[in-house]
Amino acid sequence: MKKYTTVGKSEKKIDSLSLATGESKFVDDFEMKNELYCKLVYSPHAFAEILDIDDSKALAIEGVVDVLHYKNVKHILHTTAGQGFPEPSPYDCTIFENIVRFVGDRVAMVIAENREIAHMAVKLLDVKYKILEPLFDPEKAMDPGAPQIHDSSRFTPIGVKYEPERNLAAEVEIGFGDIQKGKEESDFIIDETYNAHYGQHCTIEPHSVKSYFDEMGRLVLLSSTQVPFHVRRIVAQACDYPLSKIRVIKPRIGGGFGSKQEVFLEQLAALTTIKHKRPARLVISREEVFQSSRTRHPIRVNLKMGAKNNGEITFLEMDSLLNSGAYGSHALTVLSNCGSKVLPLFNKIENLHFIGRSVYTNLPVGGAYRGYGATQGYFALNQHLDILTRKLNVDLPDFIKKNHIQVGETSQVFEALGEGRDGVTQLVNSCQLDECIDICIKEIDWYKKHDKKITNGDKVRGVGLAVSMQGSAIPLIDMAAAYIKMNEDGSFNMNIGATDIGTGSDTILAQIAAEVLNVPLEKMIVYSSDTDRTPFDVGAYASSTTYLSGRAVKKCANKIKDQILGVAAEIMESSLEDLSLESSKVIDRKQNKSASYYDICNYSLYTKDQFQIQAEASEIVEQSPPPFMAQATEVEVDTKTGEVKVLEFVSAVDCGQAINPQLAEGQVEGATVNGISYAMTEEYIFSDKGNLLNKGFRSYKISTAADIPKMKTFIVESHEESGPFGAKSVSEIGINGPLPAIANAIYDAIGVRMYGAPFTAEKVYRAMQAQKIE
Amino acid sequence: MEKQLNINGKIAKVTFTPEELLLYTLRQNGFTEVKSGCKEGECGACLVLLNGKPVNSCLMFTASVLEEDKLLTVKGIGDLHEPHVIQEAFVDSGAVQCGFCTPGIVLASYALLQENPTPTEEEVKKAMDGNLCRCTGYVKIIEAVQLAAKRLQTK
Ligand code: FES
Ligand code: FES
């Protein structure tokens, strides 16, 4: 393999010292003079019609500037899903409406001089509701006579199946081969249903936006967003305001994980500034984040899998029911990914059927969340494989190795299932899943521990394994662009639309350019995510940045390289084929001469035929090469109480060439702990009226340092031919394994199957009791 | 109300309302390195050191801080030009992803290492228990604190 100078090195994340010293600014750290304080008012009812809003008492308070609600804000149907255009999500919301569809749906927004006044005014708003019968059970959403949550005025801009009359927000179906034939050939069939539950991203920075008019009268939005360009477009649409007058800037942002791919606050701040010609601040509280922002979609997955006694899988049917909550944000694409990121992994199954439906309920709204449907799908599939191999009495790791997709192979699913349209045909070019599995098995000591039920008093240990794949960008849909120019001292400005949300993408994209240009990393000056100053990029989602934006950067840097070589040839009177780049110089091997970047840039700027060495490049991708991963865990279950302790967790990932191994590991570790936390403690608990009861970190428990098990992370390098320097993306995949690996380990320990999570002592205890009764 | 507070070794004159939280007072007076993640004492993003002890500034009234008290934010232990060993260790270990939790966690580490210069992994985990980080999975944060401890020892 080729040796790189910067790529493959754990360079320091370029913004990390600024962050560690508290210099970096997040949205709410920008001081605005004369700023208006915005505070949202939410529905206490799961489903109701607003008969009237009387804001006179609130407006009578000194310091209350305005109250926005359905009576005074234009109704423009749009989606809050920050996706490419036209969005694959239904246009089913307006900024304010006279119907509220979940506890926490927005009713109005108070605009005041300061926090105290705004909080006072909120209580004085007089809202008259007519309560409607709510719908909470997704299984009943499509029943005749079920409450209808959205009327027929709603539609999907891409014209896919969408039937609000039946609460159907999305439907996908694909099939190959002959299921009936598969059934007939089966010696047995395993039919089980798994429930992946609600979860919240819990970025430590809550969603924040500030807006103001700049000195030219253009509207500037500082937003904690993953998708600045989609924000600009959606705000223009929802506020009916010219796109050309909007500038969106993403400063440092405090984590995203999908939650900040949602455009639901920016339009409100924008409206405030447009109407009152003053800066506005809208930062939601932790409670609001839990209740009113976005969540992981709960998905009920039914799997039917037939097999012969010799281990051959005869058919697979997947039936997924996604609870979209009150709005259909990402309802189609998360649903599709529950199949498209999961089913291709076992591509040898000839008879395959996938049906998925997303339905509306009067519960909190789902959205993009790291793993994006794959997490939910893999919870089911990995447990199903565990059940199957136990029944066949074969080794799970071995079985997976024999059946998973290999280099040079494809899956029909890739082609059949895209994001709101057909997918693309693609071959797998790189896959080190076998090695990932081997590492996990070795590290967890599988053969000494699996099926051994190592017991110590009331405590029994077990081990579990899970595998998964994800993708790298959305092929033929996502686009990224980059711009680079050269400075006299051999440094380069690189402006990119790509959005660093804490992942380190500014750093790894700079590494890619530095590698091409043969300069140390500090010579790259990165500026990203500003709709006025940087070229377009879809943003940080779908594991797209390393692969897609990385390719755009590489292409752009290559154009700069050509220009540098051209100038060097002129200076040294060399012929191009004798020239090569070497540490900020161009070398002419034949003449044994060199020209430094200093000479080259100064020549181009000041000496002859002057021009700026600069280039831009755009990139779309034709495939979405999957990273692969194996994850294994050892747990200890207290058979008296049901308490589960995760003792050790091993992850091994194939993400192609890791551009920056330390940052890649960080992505895997973060995703893994997030997944463990989701599996063990995180849960949305609702009252019977649909009110979320645990809206804070005290009651919605996420992992702390003290909770984490012994963690081991391995980067298994491969070379993805189509990726920049062989790279694939890595940010999402780590969250797919914990849920099923832990469930499989619990089964290994106590022989009890956990079809739902989190695996709290209470739930495990109950499952143990239920099994005893059976 | 008005008061002089000793923040990062300098006297700052602040105005505040009687029930104002220290978090707000600090942020409104330009100490925006003190972050707000939950305002319920659960995330540690707002952590500052009060006479060397970690406190969540969202749980404290400004009125209860005495003029002789010494407050320290993350900027008080080192800056971009002269970073503290702990801040550098966080950078070198890859312990900073989004960095929103970092000011609080760096200060919690600082307090720990003042008290216990050679903490075990378990002691580090325990000292961090009040600080949430959703990005890193804590692995590299724990490594960073241990690296800082080592560097401080050999300094
Ligand atoms: S903001 Fe103070 S602990 Fe979270
Ligand atoms: S680095 Fe993002 S929350 Fe800790």
* Residue A276 half-sphere exposure toward CB, CA atoms < 13 A: 26
Chain B residue with minimum CA distance to A678: B134
Q: Is the CB of B42 under 6 A from ligand 1?
A: yes
Q: Do B94 and A202 touch (CB under 8 A)?
A: no
What secondary structure does DSSP assign to A226-278, as a single string?
Answer: S-HHHHHHHHHHHHT--GGGEEEE--B-S--TTGGGB-SSHHHHHHHHHHHSS
Confidence (pLDDT) at A3? 83
**Is B139 within 8 Å of chain A by CB?**
yes
Q: Is the CB of B44 under 6 A from ligand 1?
A: yes
d(CA A636, CA A691): 34
Low-confidence ranges of chain A (pLDDT < 50): none
Q: Which of B78, B80, B94 sits opposite A18 (nearest CB)?
A: B80
Same domain, B46 and B111: no
Domain boundary among A283, A317, A341: A283
Chain B residue with minimum CA distance to A711: B139
Same domain, B68 and B92: no
Q: How far is B68 from chain A (nearest CA, A)?
A: 25
Q: Do B136 and A708 touch (CB under 8 A)?
A: no
d(CA A75, CA A299): 31
Q: Is the CB of A502 under 6 A from ligand 2?
A: yes
**Total domain count, chain B:** 2
Q: Which of A18, A22, A504 sits opposite B97 (nearest CB)?
A: A504
- For a mutational test of ligand 1's pocket, the pick from B26, B40, B107, B134, i.e. the residue with the most ligand atoms closer than 8 A to its C-beta, is B40
Beta strands in A145-245 (DSSP E): 168-176, 188-196, 208-213, 219-223
Residue numbers of the domain that contains A244: 32-132+207-283
For the CA of B36, the nearest ligand: 1
User: What CATH number does the domain containing B131 carry?
Assistant: 1.10.150.120
Q: Is the CB of B148 under 6 A from ligand 1?
A: no
Q: Is the CB of B58 under 6 A from ligand 1?
A: yes
Q: Is the CB of B91 under 6 A from ligand 2?
A: no
Q: Which of B106, B126, B135 sits opposite A706 (nearest CB)?
A: B126
Token pair in block for residue A471: 């993708």
Confidence (pLDDT) at A418? 86
Which pTM value belongs to this model? Answer: 0.98
Same domain, A306 and A449: yes
Same domain, B69 and B123: no
Q: Is the CB of B138 under 6 A from ligand 2?
A: no
Same domain, A556 and A702: no
Q: Do A740 and A382 form a contact (C-beta atoms < 8 A)?
A: yes
Asked if the structure places residue A155 within a domain, the reply is no
Domain boundary among B75, B105, B135: B75
Asked if the structure places residue A679 within a domain, the reply is yes
**Is B11 within 8 Å of chain A by CB?**
no
Q: Do A674 and B137 touch (CB under 8 A)?
A: yes
Chain A residue with minimum CA distance to B133: A204
Q: How far is A368 from chain B (nearest CA, A)?
A: 16
Asked if the structure places residue A498 within a domain, the reply is yes
**Total domain count, chain A:** 3
Confidence (pLDDT) at A2? 63
Q: Which of B35, B78, B91 sits opposite A16 (nearest CB)?
A: B91
Same domain, B90 and B71: no
**Is B40 within 8 Å of chain A by CB?**
yes
Chain A residue with minimum CA distance to B27: A29
Rounded to the nearest whole angstrom, what is the distance from the C-alpha of residue B17 to the centroid of ligand 1?
20
CB contact set of A554 (below 8 Å; sequence gap of 6+): A512, A513, A516, A724, A725
Q: Do A733 and A449 form a contact (C-beta atoms < 8 A)?
A: no
Sheet hosting strand A246-249, strand order edge to edge: A64-69, A106-112, A36-42, A280-283, A208-213, A219-223, A246-249
User: What CATH number does the domain containing B28 carry?
Assistant: 3.10.20.30
Of A623, A737, A653, A651, the closest CA to residue A433 belongs to A653
Low-confidence ranges of chain B (pLDDT < 50): none
Domain boundary among B56, B75, B94: B75
**Is B124 within 8 Å of chain A by CB?**
yes
Residue with tokens 């989609």: A230
Asked if the structure places residue A194 within a domain, the reply is no
User: What CATH number does the domain containing A212 carry?
Assistant: 3.90.1170.50
Confidence (pLDDT) at A414? 93
Rounded to the nearest whole angstrom, what is the distance from the C-alpha of residue A528 to the centroid of ligand 1?
29
Domain boundary among A572, A593, A620: A620
CB contact set of A632 (below 8 Å; sequence gap of 6+): A440, A441, A443, A444, A446, A463, A464, A465, A466, A649, A650, A741
Same domain, A83 and A36: yes
Same domain, A236 and A348: no
- For a mutational test of ligand 1's pocket, the pick from B43, B50, B128, B131, i.e. the residue with the most ligand atoms closer than 8 A to its C-beta, is B43
Residue with tokens 């990203």: A528
